A and B are shown apart, each in its own frame.
Chain A
């Protein structure tokens, strides 16, 4: 399956290579560089590249290209998912998946890759097993290691691989037994210029951090499980139980993991927590434009909307912005042409407003596209879909764990579109067409 892996940084430097079958020359990456150059931006590099006798399947994470070399037919998603898994494992081990982190821990990286794939086929990918095999680095251990010369490879043989619940390592012990669940929801929405919703849906995840001794068997139930339209589970969740009772029953992995991700369907009306009034216009004569944006809370269910950011990608001709914000502050980056308005908390009484003029490049034609707004926000203690955890029960162990649930709603891909002039003409034509 996966022959080799090359890690390439943003300056086209191959800083790590690993081969699982016979060695493949790194010159195979030349195909990749060629495509990369053509694509321009990193995110436009196609994930699958045909390179002579090989195929390159790559992902782009944290400014690193993970380029895997494939020699024969394989489901591309298989490789892509695996590469993401590798990246996540690095993240898990080193706290970040950056070039420097990988270079600093190159031996651990190598050991990890060695365990994760055998002859190109995934072997041990569960983080719990890997951590049993290879201990993640931390400062204390590295100090101790350097003194005593002991190593970061597990002394004991990993038994997790043999168990029927491969995601949980054996013999877990904690003094404080805790289980935390974060319900995080993201609203994806497209609003048109009038503020009405073109499209909105909620994507949610439940991330768990479970530090429990022994082999706890947890049951998590919801007040309103019917809300969840489409779910995907961590393999530990017993699917049948969910199907019949809508209860999440599982023996959790140790540590952090994503228990569930779900989708609240578009059929349910999505409460849009804020509204935006915007007016961005450019004058025909004189190289200037006007901008006026007001943001206000809408359906927030009594919670405060926090950390509101408005990001606007301005047309290329906008040189600078001279604006006044009644709340928060704004920055305009003339290089990337992005205007960021950091509002902070939204209050009901005084609606934040950003107003002022834009300076355009002299002589350049007035931009016809009005830019769209991307909005970021956060609401603590609220799952915007209304999902509520009912209770968490633990079986199989005697102690009483500390349990906690946290709700956060965020804006996902939240976008305010603008109506275009073309639409007007278009509909006009349609009408005239009808008249005929």
Chain B
């Protein structure tokens, strides 16, 4: 195929466009002698020893090639220089070689050994270039050599060589498709490559060689998504297009619910014969409704990681992302692409052209998306006509009732344009607006009629054509317009317009009975001079008039038909013969003639004026096929969404095989939705340090440090698994809890306590249960909470055995304790606990024994005790308390949760005195900060108040009165306590918004007999609540809170807090902040935000040698920062 055609082409080429070339270069034509002569001197130069001469010769040869001249006879002379030392000569020889090797296969083989040597070169660039040239030489004999070279290069150390290997794959494939299988193996290998350099090229190879092998992508999907932003722009386009197709096969339609609803509605409308089928459908619809659509996190990942690329400078990338969103995103999210596409309209006109084509298609499906940008599609007189017409198309698609008046006004200016094609298009656009929007039909029609008096014939003609279409919709009302148009036949010469008018008159001759015959008369006179299309319509008109008004027009018709009989055009002669037979009654007229009226005067349906872009969206947008509206070679159809999602686990890479349950995914998903920063996470910032080493499947965990990802994911998975296993009957919150629990516990097994905490927190951050639920494991409070807990308990005790329930509650309580207390627990304890929820009956024996004691205690608690001080006396500082004690403490906690109204302060919480029992005349009031979110108002700090009646009389009507607050502070009183019997104690919760200040809240505490002035002053640490963040987030936030917002203090750690646990415990007791996971063990980080205004508070304690440490607090509010530093300092130095 090669050499012969190449030669032929050459000749053909020069002869077809040769003429102008003769002037430039007589040698090219046919003066062979001079041609050869010149080539001879080139050969001489190539054979010389001087590089400069060789170079000169090569330059001249390349110039010949560039101009399309044949230089193949120089091949032997050139190929000798393939090993030349001079780099430029060498490169030019390569250029020549690649160009002519196909024609001179045998000679080309001489050069192969040079490249084979190059493939072994220690320099990666030389290896790469050798492979590049070798693979570009289209000689079938060397296919095995190429194959070998590619295979070798695919596992080269250098990513650049691997990239070259990826480039070589399609070259070899096009040379010898037989190699496909082997090449697929190489592609598979290269797809697993983790560098950005290779990614784009290998996907390109994939698309050319085996686009149908979508299964190769599974394992690399997440990696590709994450690498995407760092791939060079051309590679991005290819990858995005491929991933669009991939996603269409692997995920569910995000708009499935909407479309299902529509569909079911339609089906119901059409109705089906058999009832059963109907029912089934209804059921299916109901099922779909019941099961809400949940986006696969991988689907989300793709959308998230491509979005920043809308900001690319490369129009092709922007377009690729736009089409991805159009085809894959939920309806609500597609809108983001509009702005970027509108931006592209500023680019070169070719770019505009392509973008507008795509926008036109999009506007049909999603008009709302571009409506805000209507004005960006206004046409400028300087636009090229093809752009104008496309913009017009978009404007027409965007027209609706609300904006039609502005659009029409805009159209009016366009009508005045000097560009006649454009004017014609505008008139058609007006016609389309008129058909689509009923309200403006009359206005448009009137406007168009005005155009009939335009001096430009083209405008008039186009208007006539459009008016004709419009009139067809409601002819009765517009006989005056028809009359007006009838008059136009005298002036209009454009055949199409004349034909249209005649057709109109013929069609609606009943509405203009007087004028119609007259028009026919005039036309009969000029018949011979008319264009064919007009003649046909004259015959038509005559026929119709003959049928309706034969008296007046019989002779005219005869005359016209006679004229037509002798016309030059056989179409017209045929038509005349045909019509005569139909309408003129003769003796032997056929059976059809009695139907003549029906044939000619049947009611014709009004034409539908619709966009040429309708239904184009079945082609993938942005593709060549879409642009041409025809399938281009090699186009891969965009598959339909699957009915059910294929197994998502295929995308898991070995390490994270654990995540298979959908529940864990929901958790992840939840996180993504809540943390929009994810979209930005694939940072260019990281490019420098991290690009290559980045753990490639850290799809969800990029922010949370490299070590974290796998672990926390497996957490959630195991959690959900165990959750469903152990507590099928539990309520949502319950399973939530148990999941958390088991997660943390599983971790315990392997890790130390502190690490466990860290994990759990990130995890919880991810799950982010509604505010009430998640921190409930810490000291619980809040009425709802308790009620629910009780309910759950009740239900469970109904269904499950007593002992099991006990265990459940035990493990639960111990867990909640340990979490809240941030105290260390012994490993054995943790292990034991782990067993509780995960493994159910059999291996419990031993544990039961060990817990016996506790069980008794808990029973005891339940029956007799209300919160007693006994378990709570556990000294706060004794953080090394035995597991037993912690468990006990926890038990009491859980029990109190179940108690109806009261919440016992746990040991870790400091209580403050509000009213001494002496000043309170027997009424003692204490308060503490429960660190619970105050559910009625999230901006308030929950304050738990404990009343003790030490008198012998009842105290009644305890309530708050007359609060005196600093401006901005608010108070939410506790519900009035009607009765407090002597010796009893009651606990209530009130909320105070301190406005992030430590100003006291003053109010009166009233009983039925007395009023006490009291005030609550919060320590600064209680004005905040924990925030869960990852290490990276922490660092990022901290980076933004430098300078004035950062307060550092050096300190010497106190006796008891020299280890990490001590520090964590001290800090968390001083301030309501949560631990942030941290890679180094020298640092402890905490994060919180103020309750009232949500300002971030970041605390870092960095330990050094001995007991020295440095405390850093970052907070926008300097007052809070300074106070917090003081408080924590105190806590740590004690």
Contacts and interface: CB of A to CB of B under 8 A. Distances in A.
B59 A107 contact: yes
Interface string B430-453: 000000000000110011001100
Contacts of A30: 16-17
B263 interface: no
B639 interface: no
A149 B45 CA distance: 14
Contacts of A29: 17
Given A14-B17, A238-B685, 8 more contacts: A111-B91, A190-B380, A233-B311, A239-B229, A261-B313, A368-B455, A369-B418, A422-B447
Given A13-B21, A121-B204, A43 B375 contact: no
Interface in A3-27: 11-19, 21-27
Interface in B314-331: 314-316, 318-320
Interface of A: 1, 11-19, 21-27, 29-30, 41, 43-44, 46-48, 50, 53, 55, 58-60, 70-78, 80-82, 84, 106-107, 109-111, 114, 118-119, 121-123, 125, 149, 151-155, 157-158, 161-162, 164-166, 190, 198-199, 201, 203, 229-235, 237-241, 243-245, 249, 258, 261, 263, 266, 313, 315-316, 365, 368-370, 372, 374, 413, 415, 417-420, 422-423, 425-426, 429-430, 433
28 contacts: A12-B17, A19-B99, A25-B13, A26-B68, A27-B16, A47-B354, A48-B628, A73-B635, A73-B636, A81-B314, A106-B67, A107-B92, A109-B66, A110-B95, A152-B88, A154-B87, A164-B692, A166-B232, A203-B346, A232-B311, A233-B312, A235-B312, A239-B229, A370-B416, A372-B381, A420-B412, A422-B412, A433-B443
Nearest to A420: B416
Contact of A153 (B88, B170, B384, B687): B88
Contacts of A60: 349-350
Contacts of A114: 91, 94-95
Interface of B: 2, 6, 8-10, 12-13, 16-17, 20-21, 50-52, 55, 59, 62-63, 65-68, 86-89, 91-92, 94-95, 99, 102, 123-126, 132, 135-136, 138, 158-160, 164, 167-168, 170-171, 174, 201, 204, 229, 232-234, 237, 241, 308, 311-316, 318-320, 339-340, 342-343, 346, 348-351, 353-355, 375-376, 378, 380-382, 384-386, 408-409, 412-413, 415-418, 442-443, 446-447, 450-451, 454-455, 622-625, 627-628, 630, 632-636, 677, 680-685, 687-688, 691-692, 1036, 1040
A240 B681 contact: yes
Contacts of A237: 684
Nearest to A265: B339
A64 B681 CA distance: 43
B101 to A, nearest CB: 10
Residue of A74, A75, A161, A418 ringed by the most chain B CB atoms within 10 A: A75
Interface of B is mostly: helix
A154 B234 CA distance: 25
B234 A78 contact: yes
Contact of B50 (A22, A149, A154): A149
Contacts of A240: 680-685
A114 B683 CA distance: 32
A225 to B, nearest CB: 14
A82 B418 contact: no
B1023 to A, nearest CB: 26
Contact of B12 (A27, A82, A162, A419): A27
Contacts of B342: 230
B1036 to A, nearest CB: 7
A80 B351 contact: yes
Contacts of B86: 151
A46 B632 contact: no
A23 B6 contact: yes
The 4 closest A-B CB pairs, nearest first, are: A149-B52, A72-B634, A25-B9, A151-B88
Contacts of A73: 623-625, 632-636
Contact of B316 (A22, A71, A75, A243): A75
B234 A121 contact: yes
Contacts of A53: 633
Nearest to A125: B234
Contacts of A203: 346
A162 B197 CA distance: 8
A58 B622 CA distance: 16
B628 A17 contact: no
A420 B349 contact: no
B416 A368 contact: yes
B354 A80 contact: yes
B167 A121 contact: yes
Contacts of A81: 314-316, 351
A46 B353 contact: yes
Contact of A16 (B67, B125, B408, B628): B67
Contacts of A74: 624
A422 B385 contact: no
A76 B415 contact: no
A239 B349 contact: no
A122 B13 contact: no
A231 B311 contact: yes
B237 A107 contact: no
Nearest to B633: A72
A17 B450 contact: no
Contacts of A374: 381-382
Given A26-B17, A27-B12, A48-B628, A80 B350 contact: yes
Contacts of B126: 157
A203 B346 CA distance: 8
Nearest to B169: A119
B668 to A, nearest CB: 21
Nearest to A250: B684
Residue of A41, A238, A313 ringed by the most chain B CB atoms within 10 A: A238
Given A25-B9, A26-B13, A232 B343 contact: yes
Contacts of B201: 121
B348 A80 contact: yes
B340 A230 contact: yes
Nearest to A84: B348
Given A244-B680, A422-B416, A75 B622 contact: yes
Residue of A13, A46, A107, A157 ringed by the most chain B CB atoms within 10 A: A107
Contact of B171 (A23, A119, A229): A119
Contacts of A70: 624
Contact of B350 (A22, A59, A238, A423): A59
Nearest to A25: B9
Nearest to B340: A230
B181 to A, nearest CB: 21
B682 to A, nearest CB: 8
A365 B456 CA distance: 10
Nearest to B91: A153
Nearest to B158: A162
Nearest to A23: B6
A76 B315 CA distance: 10
B160 A162 contact: yes
A392 to B, nearest CB: 18
Nearest to A257: B313
A341 B385 CA distance: 26
Contact of A75 (B67, B346, B451, B624): B624
Contact of A44 (B50, B386, B455, B692): B386
B680 A15 contact: no
B345 to A, nearest CB: 10
A24 B123 CA distance: 35
Nearest to A8: B17
B378 A190 contact: yes
A239 B59 CA distance: 44
B1045 to A, nearest CB: 15
A154 B384 CA distance: 42
Given A161-B160, A420-B413, A72 B62 contact: no
B87 A155 contact: yes
B412 A423 contact: yes
A242 B9 CA distance: 53
A12 B19 CA distance: 11
